[in-house]
Amino acid sequence: MFSYIFMKILERRPERYDTGINILSGGHAQKIRKQIVKNFVKPDMDILDIGCGTGSLLIDAANAGANATGVDISKGMLVVAQKRIVDNGLKDRITLHNAGVVEIDSLFAENRFDLIVSTLVFSELYAEERALALYQIKKLLKPDGTFVIAVEVQPKKPLKRVIHFLVRFPLTVLTYIIAQTGTKPFNRITDEITQAGLNITSEKRSFLDSFIILTARKPANASSDRTGLPGTLKAEDDRSFIKSVWDFIGPWFPNPVEPGLRVLGHPDRKSPVILTSNFHLTVRRVEKSLNGENIFLLVAPANGINVWCASCGGELNTHSVITAIKTSRINERVDHHHIILPQFSAPGIDRKLLKKETKRTGVFGPAYSKDIPLFINNRKTVFEHNRAEFSLLFRLEMLLSMNFIVWMVIGILTLLIEPNMFFPFSIFFWLTGLMLYAGFPVIPGKSGWLKAAVLSVIEVIAIAMYSVCISQPIFSHWDTMIIVSAINMWLGFDLRGIVAGVTSEAEWLMHQLGMSSFGHIFSTGVFNTGKIQQDISKCNNCRIWLMVCPKSVFETVDKNKIRVQRQWECFSCNACVTQCSEEALSLKDAKKTTSNKANAADAKKPRG
Ligand code: SF4
């Protein structure tokens, strides 16, 4: 249990995963892996580890003589695994694949493995994903092959449940604070394995009965057929008052809805299929925009994060889209082969892989859900509605959502220590926030911190003048000056990233500290100081860049030639580079390279 919760934290630092997990689990994680290898692995056996992480079980299995294969959705984990495999001289005995759990059936032939293992993965999957994964596991196992699964579950006895809750709660909070993600134990695993057609042969519980190792066998005459389509969800299923309030005050923490297929109106076999991430606010807004339309809305697992953050941070990726398509079995519900993807998902989607895995062609829609109905009727409207807008309303929404929790925490401390300062503090906090967020385009300074410093200077001067007016020394309110400056610096931190969608102070700082992410909001996944470079000789003018660039960096010139026209707007999100099938674009460090001459001639002068 402990190891499982901390695993969520450690997953974000793959290179330290093994050391951390072993310290935090008191060696139990390693013990379970060794136990599985000792009890089930035989020489020359074909084994598959689903969610192999950094490859520890694979290495032990290969050392025991097995031919081991590992699958993991995290590229970072696989990089560490590959290095360890090479260091152990096991390159010929272990194969790795970067894929999601429900992609295994397209990687391997039926009846391929003697043993399939999954440790600490299943409780991260949603119901339909687990059902499909178990079906695929059954398909890939040889007749009489064995499936071993280790998962976190709820203890059955009430006393153990209480102790489990008391021990787990602080760890859950800690995980949320550090990783902004969570896990939930579940109890239906035995039922789900049985429903998938596997026969459970043994069950072993440990750690207050909160951890279970189950062994199941594929019957010799098992059928590989799947009957009946999975159920769908309705728009009403996403209406929750607490979740709706949380949308606006708690973006520091994910606010997920159940991934899966939502049926809006009365769609038929020709109706469009639209994809979004499983962030509550995003789903609600998309559903509202599509009110009155007949549409299939696919909600992809993205850890409860909005499309842009999830895509740049790697939570909404090709594998999550494939998972949504496969689990919903949308291909059996419609006759066409298109899926409309959110424009902001472009940095994370490999459309070639998507097509190969699902037979669906990804089409990027408009930037905002309100324009989807227009887009459905006329796809060309995407060229008019593909720019990210950072309107006043959006900035005010961000002011509230990014700062509410910080204001609440400082406010509670103020009430406890100096209650009469609560109202002055609150008024100052929100007034300064209003000035910074609403006045962002006009306050001098390039970065959020510079803008905040400008405000600080004005406010400190105002305090000094007040002191002089009441015949006190100029710095007599020095403590207020420090508090005012500190609040300004907080409000200015990351401001540029939040309200202008460009590389922010937070990303820069994390990049300097060698951090790839902190929670789901701050990520250096796309941190790049380079600017876009175009190789005109390779460009076939397919217009995909025009569709996916949220900053309108490209323009059509000379009838149909697409050229970089506003390079200074580029914030290196990588969307156009990812989507260019001709490799005609690259992101290069502007300081190290001279820009393409033809582009330079075409480009207009930068702002200001
Ligand atoms: S030009 Fe820059 S901002 Fe536009 S899509 Fe490409 S990398 Fe992103």
- Low-confidence winner among 200-214, 226-240, 411-425 (lowest mean pLDDT): 226-240
In this structure, are 316 and 262 located in the same domain?
A: yes
CATH number for the domain that contains residue 325: 3.40.50.11600
In this structure, are 415 and 539 located in the same domain?
A: no
- Return the pLDDT at 12: 54
Beta pairing class for 46-50 and 113-119: parallel
- Low-confidence winner among 335-339, 358-362, 571-575 (lowest mean pLDDT): 571-575
Amino acid at 29: A
Residue 396 lies in a domain: yes
Query: Is 595 a residue whose pLDDT tops 60?
Result: no
504-519 per-position pLDDT tens digit: 666 677 666 666 555 5
Ligand 1 pocket, 296 CB below 6 A? no
In this structure, are 87 and 191 located in the same domain?
A: yes
In this structure, are 107 and 183 located in the same domain?
A: yes
Counting from 1 in the atom list of ligand 1, the atom nearest the Cα of 554 is 1
Query: 3-class DSSP state for residue 354?
Result: helix
For residue 297, report the phi and psi dihedrals to the nearest 5 degrees: -110, 115
Ligand 1: distance of its center to the CA of 576 in Å? 6
Ligand 1: distance of its center to the CA of 587 in Å? 9
Query: Is 232 a residue whose pLDDT tops 70?
Result: yes
Residue 452 lies in a domain: yes
In this structure, are 151 and 55 located in the same domain?
A: yes
- Return the pLDDT at 240: 78
Residue 233 lies in a domain: no
What is the average pLDDT score of the chain?
84
In this structure, are 358 and 461 located in the same domain?
A: no
- Return the pLDDT at 143: 95
In this structure, are 371 and 457 located in the same domain?
A: no
Cα–Cα distance, 536 to 598 (Å, whole number): 8
- Domain boundary pick from 466, 484, 499: 499
Ligand 1 pocket, 570 CB below 6 A? yes
Query: Is 210 a residue whose pLDDT tops 60?
Result: yes
Place of tokens 């207020």: 480
For residue 241, report the phi and psi dihedrals to the nearest 5 degrees: -60, -45
Q: Which residues contact 554 (CB under 8 A, 6 or more apart)?
A: 545, 546, 562, 563, 564, 565, 576
- Domain boundary pick from 383, 406, 437: 383
DSSP H helices, 371-391, are 372-377
258-306 per-position pLDDT tens digit: 899 999 999 999 999 999 999 999 999 999 999 999 999 999 998 888 8
Ligand 1: distance of its center to the CA of 545 in Å? 8
Percent of the chain with pLDDT over 70: 84
- Domain boundary pick from 476, 499, 522: 499
Query: 3-class DSSP state for residue 187?
Result: coil
- Low-confidence winner among 301-310, 331-340, 519-528, 581-590 (lowest mean pLDDT): 519-528
Ligand 1: distance of its center to the CA of 364 in Å? 15
The encoded tokens of residue 582 equal: 């001709």
Ligand 1 pocket, 189 CB below 6 A? no
Ligand 1 pocket, 574 CB below 6 A? yes
Ligand 1: distance of its center to the CA of 591 in Å? 18
In this structure, are 430 and 481 located in the same domain?
A: yes
Q: Please, which residues bridge with residue 576 across strands?
A: none
Q: Give the mean pLDDT of 486-509.
A: 79
Residue 17 lies in a domain: yes
In this structure, are 150 and 6 located in the same domain?
A: yes
In this structure, are 30 and 89 located in the same domain?
A: yes
CATH number for the domain that contains residue 513: 3.30.70.20
- Low-confidence winner among 315-324, 529-538, 544-553, 586-595 (lowest mean pLDDT): 586-595
In this structure, are 176 and 213 located in the same domain?
A: yes
Where are the extended beta strands (E) located within 445-553?
Answer: 517-518, 522-523, 530-534
Ligand 1 pocket, 553 CB below 6 A? yes
Q: Give the mean pLDDT of 577-606.
A: 58
Q: Give the mean pLDDT of 249-257.
A: 79
Q: Give the mean pLDDT of 336-344.
A: 95
Residue 606 lies in a domain: no
349-385 per-position pLDDT tens digit: 999 999 999 999 999 999 999 999 999 999 888 888 8
Beta pairing class for 211-217 and 295-300: unpaired
Helix (H) / strand (E) element for 599: namely helix 597-602
163-184 per-position pLDDT tens digit: 888 877 777 776 666 555 556 7
Amino acid at 403: N
In this structure, are 250 and 362 located in the same domain?
A: yes
CATH number for the domain that contains residue 168: 3.40.50.150
The total domain count for the chain is: 4
Ligand 1: which residue has its CA nearest to atom 6?
576
Query: Is 522 a residue whose pLDDT tops 70?
Result: no
Q: Which range marks the domain in which residue 509 is found? A: 505-601
- Return the pLDDT at 516: 56
Residue 53 lies in a domain: yes
Judge whether 529 and 572 are in contact, CB under 8 Å.
yes
32-46 per-position pLDDT tens digit: 888 899 999 999 999
Judging by beta carbons within 10 Å of its beta carbon (0-12, 13-18, 19+), is residue 380 exposed, middle or buried? exposed
DSSP H helices, 418-447, are 422-438
Ligand 1 pocket, 573 CB below 6 A? yes
Residue 554 lies in a domain: yes
- Low-confidence winner among 51-65, 209-223, 232-246 (lowest mean pLDDT): 232-246
Write down the pTM of the prediction: 0.82
Amino acid at 282: T
Beta pairing class for 522-523 and 199-206: unpaired
Query: Is 109 a residue whose pLDDT tops 60?
Result: yes
The Cα diameter of the chain in Å comes to 94
Ligand 1: which residue has its CA nearest to atom 8?
573
- Return the pLDDT at 158: 87
- Our CA dihedral for 462, 468, 471, 477, rounded to 10 degrees, sits at 50
State the SS3 of 44-105: CCEEEEECCCCCHHHHHHHHCCCEEEEEECCHHHHHHHHHHHHHCCCCCCEEEEECCHHHHH
CB burial of 78-108 (b: ≥16 within 10 Å; e: otherwise) equals bebbbebbeeeebeebbebebbbbbbbbebb
Residue 344 lies in a domain: yes
